């Protein structure tokens, strides 16, 4: 055959061109024939099995399903080749909906069952026209119920904050809502004292935070439902600066007729304050003192304590922990 083509091409170019035309025509006709055959084949009806995910609806509000229900079913469907090809090629198939209200009692307490093959018409209606459900495996699904109870538990934040230099939070982290309802069996709820948010690590924080954060649903809570799956976390942040004031040292619990003098008689207090409140803090907002009743035998020093400080300041420190004193009558 190879030598024939060579001879034709070399000896008679016209004959070779004519032959190539005939070959192309033959291939074109062959493709048309295959296409028509494919159309005819796909237009015929076939029966195949396809696995579909299952979605269960209308679960009772006052009960929980205690056993594991099938997440997929093997559905035998009858349809044209075109429809079946689409089902086979489609990766994310639509779920088949199963109505729990269709379940019938088994005669045992808190037990019922659903027979899929008794509801083939209802399942067929979930498919496109021309598709018929012939069989479903498994045929029967049994459902075991437990009584559902609800209790309220606190939400705890699992958030780590790292602030940018000079920035701090002005108050405690707030979670809204602070409590949620959890529902499940008495056995499941007995071990749940609180729920937490998912771990979150925030760095270089320099402004107020208000963000939605999901609740952590660990494996132990798989059969437990939450009244909501996320909460709002709020943190107020502001820029802080360091300041200091010189304060007179007062004396408390001093008996009448005695005079106690400290050396020095004033002390410096250092503190951190929000940048916006810097000019609002004055010396009378503080009170530092020594306590006469705390004098120890043979000692000439007393500890200085802070009796009053503004709520808006933090990290309050004194320049000296103790001062010397003398007593005069």
What is the structure's pLDDT at 90?
61
Residues 124 and 164 grouped into a single domain: no
Query: What is the C-alpha separation between 161 and 190, in angstroms, rounded?
Result: 32
Same domain? For 250 and 230 the reply is no
| CB-count exposure of residue 79 (10 Å: 0-12, 13-18, 19+) | buried
Q: Are residues 135 and 189 in the same domain?
A: no
Give pLDDT, residue 2. 44
> In 10 A of CB 75, how many CB atoms?
25
- Which of 309, 268, 311 is closest to 286 using CA atoms? 309
Q: Which pLDDT belongs to residue 257?
A: 86
Residue 164's domain is classified under what CATH number? 2.170.120.40
Same domain, 30 and 87: no
| Pair (175, 252) in one structural domain | no
Name 96's Cβ contacts closer than 8 Å, sequence gap at least 6. Answer: 52, 53, 54, 55, 73, 75, 123, 126
Can you tell me the distance from the alpha carbon of 87 to that of 128, in angstroms, rounded to the nearest whole number? Answer: 11
Judge if 160 and 186 occupy the same domain: yes
Residue numbers in the chain where pLDDT is lower than 50: 1-8, 10, 42
Residues 137 and 161 in one domain: no
Q: What is the pLDDT of residue 35?
A: 59
Domain identity same for 138 and 52 = yes
CATH number of the domain residue 261 falls in:
2.170.120.30
What's the pLDDT score for residue 304? Answer: 96
Range of the domain at 190: 151-235
Name the domain boundary from 235, 258, 287.
Answer: 235
Residue 324: in which H helix or E strand, if any?
A: strand 322-328
Are 166 and 186 found together in one domain? yes
pLDDT of 122 reads 87
The answer on 187 and 120 residing in a single domain is no
Q: What is residue 318's predicted lDDT score, i.e. its pLDDT?
A: 95
What is the rounded CA–CA span in Å between residue 137 and residue 72?
9
Q: Tell me if the pTM is above 0.85.
A: no
Q: Are residues 194 and 250 in the same domain?
A: no
98 and 68 in one domain?
yes
Please tell me the distance from the alpha carbon of residue 235 to that of residue 233, in angstroms, as a whole number. 7
Residue 173 to residue 167: CA distance in whole angstroms: 15
Domain boundary residue among 112, 147, 182?
A: 147
* Domains in the chain, number: 4
Beta strand 237-252 pairing with 167-169 = antiparallel
CA dihedral 40, 43, 49, 52 (to 10 degrees): 130
What is residue 301's predicted lDDT score, i.e. its pLDDT? 93
Domain stop point among 184, 205, 235: 235
| Residue whose C-alpha is closest to residue 183's, from 149, 152, 146, 145 | 149
Between CA 199 and CA 158 the distance in angstroms is: 5
Q: What is the pLDDT of residues 224-261, one digit of tens each?
A: 889 999 999 999 999 999 999 999 999 999 998 899 99
Tokens found for residue 214: 């999901």
């Amino acid at each position: 055959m190879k030598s024939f083509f060579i001879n034709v091409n070399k000896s008679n170019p016209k004959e070779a061109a004519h032959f190539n035309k005939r070959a192309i025509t033959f291939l074109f006709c062959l493709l048309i024939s295959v296409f028509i055959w494919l159309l005819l084949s796909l237009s015929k009806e076939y029966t195949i099995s396809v696995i579909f995910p299952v979605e269960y609806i209308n679960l009772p509000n006052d009960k929980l399903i205690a056993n594991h229900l099938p997440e997929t079913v093997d559905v035998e469907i009858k349809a044209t080749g075109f429809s079946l090809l689409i089902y086979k090629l489609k990766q994310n198939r639509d779920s088949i909906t199963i109505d729990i209200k269709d379940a019938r009692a088994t005669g045992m307490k808190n037990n019922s069952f659903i027979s899929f093959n008794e509801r083939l018409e209802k399942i067929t209606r979930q498919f496109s026209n021309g598709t018929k459900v012939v069989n479903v495996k498994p045929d029967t699904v049994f459902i075991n119920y437990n009584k559902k109870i609800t209790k309220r538990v606190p939400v705890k934040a699992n958030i780590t904050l790292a602030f940018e230099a000079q920035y701090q939070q002005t108050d405690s982290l707030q979670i809204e809502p602070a409590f949620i309802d959890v529902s499940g069996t008495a056995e499941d709820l007995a071990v749940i004292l609180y729920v937490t948010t998912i771990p979150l690590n925030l760095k270089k924080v320099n402004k107020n935070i208000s963000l939605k954060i999901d609740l952590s649903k660990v494996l132990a809570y798989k059969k437990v439902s939450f009244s909501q799956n996320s909460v709002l976390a709020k943190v107020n942040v502001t820029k802080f600066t360091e300041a200091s004031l010189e304060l007179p040292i007062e004396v408390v619990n001093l008996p009448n007729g005695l005079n106690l003098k400290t050396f020095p008689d004033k002390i410096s207090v250092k503190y951190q304050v929000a940048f916006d409140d810097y000019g609002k803090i004055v010396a009378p907002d503080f009170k530092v003192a020594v306590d006469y009743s705390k004098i120890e035998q043979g000692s000439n020093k007393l500890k200085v304590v802070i009796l009053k400080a503004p709520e808006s300041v933090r990290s309050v420190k004194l320049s000296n922990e103790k001062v010397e004193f003398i007593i005069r009558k």
